Chains A and B, each alone.
Chain A
């Protein structure tokens, strides 16, 4: 079932490279995708600025990879469950996680994981690959209850080297659970390039050993990512089981704000990837098709900037949780000894104040 060609709808200049899928014939849908790509990038820029000025913690940028996130999420139904890694801000924004929640999370506040919107979505998974089995469990729950829902799990190229992913793909295949696994292949696992990550020719072919379909898609083409994910989800909902999608993109940024990518890759490589980036690509297509103008672009940038600034202000104005909050969610009911520790910590905090 491994696709023998890379699925691509828009080439890097925004010209049609293949037939437009159904959803992409509606300009409003394309504009919705475009708006989320731009909002994600605007958020990203602000997050880095806040980090650089000491007002946000270590942050993992998604610069250049927005289309993987947004495309995968756009294919999901609201009732599906996203099981993300830590670079899927675009997917989270599309799914209804608020910008303030995202800022809170990266600002070191657990309340950023208490999504007001997609209540059943999983929080970011920082340990690489260990969330893949969770998606199998969630999808199994849907299957056992006979629900027409699916789990979408996103992880990076490095994650495919780990046993968790192999185990999860295998188990999902055996049980034919409605799960779609998306590899956000951004070419680098911190400093280790894709060719040093695996000797396999593609990451999509990791599906072969699990007996499930795998396909490669141009991860900088949001239309292609959405189309591939929609197809995999439709298949999953029919009870035909899981699929693996390898979305080929490129990390235009450092791994995180704590990383300096210039130590392991040169500027020429990075600048060589800029012409393929996803936001300009869709913009060119929209412009050429007459759906977009410079004025509309300016208005959108202004709108996104204002949303992000508002969310950042709200985040910065949010007081930290009381010290008791570090104890209050460990168990449903606080055990006596932990209650004693909470009391002692509260007294200590009052003394410190």
Chain B
């Protein structure tokens, strides 16, 4: 067992995937000799060379677009977008092309690519570096959207994303890159996409989150236990396709749901989860569904970002509210 940070786990997964499959390529800005601005691709250039670790010109749309061409030719490109605020330039390519290549050619051409990008705030970066666009990508038919919440899950989910026959947007919570450390065996075991992970069992309230928010959700659950509230914590892990069954089964047991995400509330992915629970488990609900989210504002600059990101206290307040509802 080796203790790895989340970004080291990403690196280990990339290395493992490149070793096991010569079709796997890494491309993006500064991913070569520099090893990526967060060092996610560190050392890969030295091991695999410039044929498989490609520094691209500074052109995000084309990083995605070139990956589509490579994928259609049978490669397994893993493209890195340095910061999620720059991934919006890729939306055209992901939405109009990557996501629909299989469907519009009736399976003749396919697009097994991964678009990786750090996401979310908390690293005191400059503007446009702390966005949470998971709902935008999850709205696109034909792509899969994954957001790991720990080093081990980053490793396993990324391996599955690379092995997946369809395009996957893989959003890595930047503030956990170095904060989340755990033992990650480099055994090549993938964590299947499309499954929520129940991280803590509880009978009273279901707290659902993903990415960096899982840490806050777990902390809230710990503190709620001292108040005699047993919270079940679910890491969504794959936003698309969503494993509704795990969430529904949990809510059917607890009767209460709090959804937590860092992105703005309106049309956020929490709304999707709330709608599914409302339509399929309404009779199990003992209280209205609560959402704890970022505000419908821009992510503020570094000095104010802690006020924007949902804190443990806000999750506890929401949990207490659903517990008190009669």
Contacts and interface: CB of A to CB of B under 8 A. Distances in A.
Contacts of B57: 167, 170-171, 174
Contacts of B97: 125, 130-131, 134
A264 B102 CA distance: 38
B66 A137 contact: yes
Interface in B146-179: 164-166
A119 B107 CA distance: 11
A175 B242 CA distance: 39
B248 to A, nearest CB: 11
Q: Max chain A CB contacts within 10 Å: which of B59, B64, B66, B164?
A: B66
A134 B244 contact: no
A47 B127 CA distance: 51
A163 interface: yes
A338 to B, nearest CB: 7
Contact residues on B (Cβ < 8 Å of other chain), bracket: 35 or more
Given A110-B103, A167-B57, A115 B69 contact: no
Interface string B93-104: 100110000111
Contacts of A168: 62, 65
B106 A113 contact: yes
Contacts of A127: 92, 96
Contacts of B62: 133, 136, 164, 167-168, 171
B75 to A, nearest CB: 6
A289 interface: no
Interface string B213-244: 00000000000000000000000000001101
A329 B103 contact: yes
Nearest to A116: B108
The SS class assigned to the A binding surface is: helix
A123 B93 CA distance: 15
B287 interface: no
A29 to B, nearest CB: 30
Nearest to A124: B104
A171 B66 contact: yes
Interface in A316-353: 329-333, 335-338
A120 interface: yes
Nearest to A163: B61
B142 A130 contact: no
**Size class of the contact patch on chain A:** 35 or more
A115 B104 CA distance: 11
B72 A134 contact: yes
B71 interface: yes
A332 B108 contact: no
Nearest to B241: A335
B61 A331 contact: no
B313 interface: no
Nearest to A325: B106
Contacts of A174: 57
Interface in A35-87: 81, 83
A111 B142 CA distance: 18
A122 B96 contact: no
A43 to B, nearest CB: 21
Contacts of B41: none
Interface string B231-263: 000000000011011000000000000000000
Given A114-B105, A134-B72, A332 B65 contact: no
B61 A332 contact: no
B283 interface: no
B108 A336 contact: no
A114 B108 contact: yes
Contact of A329 (B64, B107, B164): B107
Contact of B51 (A144, A333, A336): A144
A83 B241 CA distance: 30
A332 B59 contact: no
Contacts of A119: 108
A189 interface: no
A113 B69 CA distance: 16
Contact of A136 (B66, B244, B245): B66
Nearest to B59: A167
B132 interface: no
A294 B318 CA distance: 85
Contacts of A332: 102, 110, 164-166
A180 interface: no
A130 B97 CA distance: 8
B198 interface: no
B74 interface: yes
Nearest to B164: A332
Contacts of A338: 241
A151 interface: yes
Contact of A122 (B59, B70, B72): B72
Nearest to B106: A114
A239 B231 CA distance: 62
Given A130-B92, A164-B65, A113 B72 contact: no
Contacts of B103: 110, 329-330
Given A140-B66, A171-B66, A336-B241, A331 B142 contact: yes
A141 B75 contact: yes
A137 B67 contact: yes
A325 to B, nearest CB: 8
B266 interface: no
A218 B121 CA distance: 54
Nearest to B95: A127
Contact of B244 (A113, A122, A337): A337
B109 interface: yes
A329 B102 contact: yes
Contacts of A335: 194, 241
19 contacts: A113-B106, A125-B97, A130-B96, A134-B68, A137-B72, A138-B70, A140-B66, A141-B69, A141-B73, A144-B25, A151-B69, A167-B61, A168-B65, A171-B56, A171-B66, A330-B103, A332-B110, A335-B241, A337-B244
Interface of A: 81, 83, 110-111, 113-115, 119-120, 122-123, 125, 127, 130-142, 144, 151, 163-164, 167-168, 170-171, 174-175, 329-333, 335-338
Listed from nearest, the 10 A-B pairs whose CB atoms lie closest are A137-B69, A133-B65, A335-B241, A141-B73, A332-B165, A137-B66, A167-B62, A167-B59, A114-B106, A134-B69
